[in-house]
């Protein structure tokens, strides 16, 4: 069954810890990104991991293979369940990340490659010289991720069905850019509802502001979880 991870994007550790406690019984894990990590560091991640929820550490590592391998090794002490690298880093970088992660043994994190951010669309890619468009660009980067041995990718829900068909059931699809019908899109462009993302084959649904910005975050999370199950 698809899992629901709540994106906690705040630099304030007290706020983040309160949210983690509030959501402990309603979501499957917490997604912590650059805003939280740069403000609170590894100690902050350890604090939130104390909630008992698995942590998805979304740092989008992207550098030469040796540097990325070193970064992964440094993060293993935090025992993240999921860790991101850039899918555009190349197969050697991906292989180095996986080799470093393997040092944690059976408890290693799942390593997934970020393809095209959900805040971008075909027009944005065209301006940057990616004439393929979002769908084919995601597919190209997914092939790089698979070739480098990554466990899967991060893609928008718009590409999830095609990626599931192309790469099979064992390739992790981590899917942000999900907005329930009752929530605002914000800065996301390639979005679908939670139910549509599940139908498309998403393994992990990452949802932030519809939960964290709600008057009752736990109630919002329960509402989304019910939609996922349904």
Positions annotated as catalytic residues are: 60
Helix (H) or strand (E) holding 111: strand 110-114
Place of tokens 């942000």: 176
Can you tell me the distance from the alpha carbon of 90 to that of 148, in angstroms, rounded to the nearest whole number? 7
Under 8 Å CB-to-CB from 74, ≥6 apart: which residues? none
Can you tell me the distance from the alpha carbon of 91 to that of 94, in angstroms, rounded to the nearest whole number? 5
- Residue 109 is given by DSSP the state P
Can you tell me the distance from the alpha carbon of 106 to that of 44, in angstroms, rounded to the nearest whole number? 24
Can you tell me the distance from the alpha carbon of 153 to that of 160, in angstroms, rounded to the nearest whole number? 10
Residue among 155, 158, 153 nearest 190 (CA):
158
Half-sphere exposure of 229 (CA within 13 A, CB side): 9
SS3 call for 172:
strand
Residue among 36, 50, 84 nearest 208 (CA):
36
Instruction: Give the number of other Cβ atoms within 10 Å of residue 127's Cβ.
Output: 9
């Amino acid at each position: 069954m698809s899992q629901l991870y709540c994106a906690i994007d705040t630099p304030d550790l007290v706020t983040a810890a309160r949210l983690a406690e509030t959501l402990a019984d309603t979501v499957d894990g917490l997604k912590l990104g650059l805003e939280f990590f740069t403000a609170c560091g590894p100690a902050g991640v350890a604090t939130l991991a104390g909630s008992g929820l698995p942590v998805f550490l979304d740092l989008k590592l992207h550098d030469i293979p040796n540097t990325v391998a070193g970064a992964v090794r440094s993060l293993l002490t935090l025992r993240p369940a999921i860790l991101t690298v850039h899918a555009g880093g190349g197969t050697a970088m991906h292989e180095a990340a996986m080799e470093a992660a393997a040092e944690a043994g059976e408890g290693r994190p799942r390593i997934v490659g970020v393809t095209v951010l959900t805040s971008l669309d075909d027009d944005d890619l065209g301006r940057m010289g990616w004439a393929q468009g979002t769908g084919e660009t995601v597919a190209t980067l997914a092939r790089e991720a698979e070739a480098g041995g990554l466990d899967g990718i991060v893609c928008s829900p718009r590409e999830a069905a095609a990626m599931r068909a192309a790469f099979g059931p064992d390739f992790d699809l981590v899917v942000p850019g999900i907005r329930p019908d009752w929530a605002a899109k914000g800065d996301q462009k390639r979005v679908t509802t939670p139910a549509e993302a599940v139908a498309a084959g998403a393994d992990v649904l990452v949802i932030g502001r519809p939960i964290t910005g709600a008057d009752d975050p736990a109630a919002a999370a329960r509402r989304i979880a019910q939609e996922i199950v349904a």
